[in-house]
């Protein structure tokens, strides 16, 4: 068990580091310029174009690198924004009583009623398709799901006797939240957050695949997949590479999450 954790964590961390390196590299250097369409159309992979070219003759390696950068950017911003909002709302509402509790529950119900895709469609209908509205929509989705999960977890912990004991011995709600509730629910939340990071990249890809994310001159991985769907039979690399990249990103985030959880979870630590 322990051995397996080490190598999966190592692989995850390595792939993640690669993604970060590619994202940073794409800021200063790409094999071709973004709008260089000098290549042959739908060329197969070659030494000049490692992943081949698209229907307009643009280098797919260049576009895939930029796609990775966009995915990382969306993941980071959306998780930070959504996580902060979601966790604080979740814990606060887990402690709320009486009509405050009801208010929190109904507010959460309303927000959760808008899955990311739905929020995104609403935002796109009013703000137009852009990377910003995609990030905003995804982080709202993350916030809603984290708030709900944190709230459920908090409520379950708060219902336990040791919280009552802490309350009787005079602990303030804030100190109980930080000292007793957060340490117990933290591993589950952190695991969820890292899952969300990868899923944010996926969500952005879905949105731009539908034409609701970053508009076409952008090379998001979803745009690449959407553009290559028609021609996937002639030039399969265009459909396969972005898909593999997305899977690698999400998987590496999962591995990292599992590693962190196995390190931090008090229950798991006691066993090993």
Q: Rule CB under 8 A: which residues touch another protein?
A: 1, 4, 101-102, 105-106, 109-110, 112-115, 117-118, 121-122, 124-126, 145, 148, 152, 155, 158-159, 188, 195, 198, 202, 205-206, 209-212, 222, 225, 229, 232-233, 236, 239, 242-243, 246-247, 249-251, 254, 267
CB of 261 to another protein, least distance (A): 10
Nearer to another protein, 39 or 42 (CB): 42
Could you give the dihedral angle defined by the CA atoms of residues 180, 181, 183 and 187, in that order, rounded to the nearest 10 degrees?
160
Nearer to another protein, 102 or 216 (CB): 102
Q: Which of 268, 181, 255, 261 is nearest to 13 (CA)?
A: 255
CB of 166 to another protein, least distance (A): 15
What distance lies between CA 112 and its chain's CA centroid? 17
Q: How many helices (H) and strands (E) does the chain have?
A: 11, 0
Q: What are phi and psi of 49, to 5 degrees?
A: -130, 100
CB of 57 to another protein, least distance (A): 22
Cβ–Cβ < 8 Å for 36, 58: yes
Nearer to another protein, 24 or 247 (CB): 247
User: Rg of the chain over CA atoms, in angstroms?
Assistant: 22
Longest dimension (CA), the chain: 75
Nearer to another protein, 53 or 145 (CB): 145
CB of 233 to another protein, least distance (A): 6
CB of 62 to another protein, least distance (A): 21
């Amino acid at each position: 068990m322990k051995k397996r954790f080490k190598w999966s964590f190592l692989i995850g961390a390595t792939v993640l580091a690669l993604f970060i390196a590619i994202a940073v590299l794409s800021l200063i250097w790409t094999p071709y310029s973004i709008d260089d369409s000098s290549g042959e159309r739908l060329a197969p992979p070659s030494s000049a174009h490692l992943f081949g070219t698209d229907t307009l003759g643009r280098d797919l390696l260049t576009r895939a690198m930029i796609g990775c950068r966009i995915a990382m950017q969306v993941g980071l911003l959306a998780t930070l924004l959504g996580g902060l909002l979601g966790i604080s709302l979740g814990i606060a509402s887990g402690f709320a009583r009486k009509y405050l509790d009801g208010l929190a529950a109904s507010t959460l119900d309303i927000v959760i009623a808008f899955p990311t895709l739905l929020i995104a469609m609403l935002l796109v209908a009013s703000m137009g398709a852009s990377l910003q509205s995609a990030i905003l929509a995804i982080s709202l989705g993350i916030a809603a799901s984290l708030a709900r999960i944190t709230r459920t977890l908090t409520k379950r912990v708060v219902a336990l006797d040791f919280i009552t004991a802490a309350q009787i011995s005079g602990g303030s709600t804030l100190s109980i939240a930080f000292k007793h509730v957060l340490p117990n629910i933290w591993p589950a939340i952190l695991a969820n957050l890292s899952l969300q990071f990868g899923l944010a990249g996926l969500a952005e890809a879905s949105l731009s695949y539908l034409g609701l994310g970053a508009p076409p001159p952008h090379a998001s991985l979803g745009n690449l997949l959407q553009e290559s769907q028609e021609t996937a039979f002639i030039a399969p690399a265009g459909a396969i590479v972005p898909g593999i990249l997305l899977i690698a990103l999400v998987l590496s985030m999962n591995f990292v999450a599992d590693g962190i959880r196995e390190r931090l979870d008090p229950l798991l630590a006691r066993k090993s």
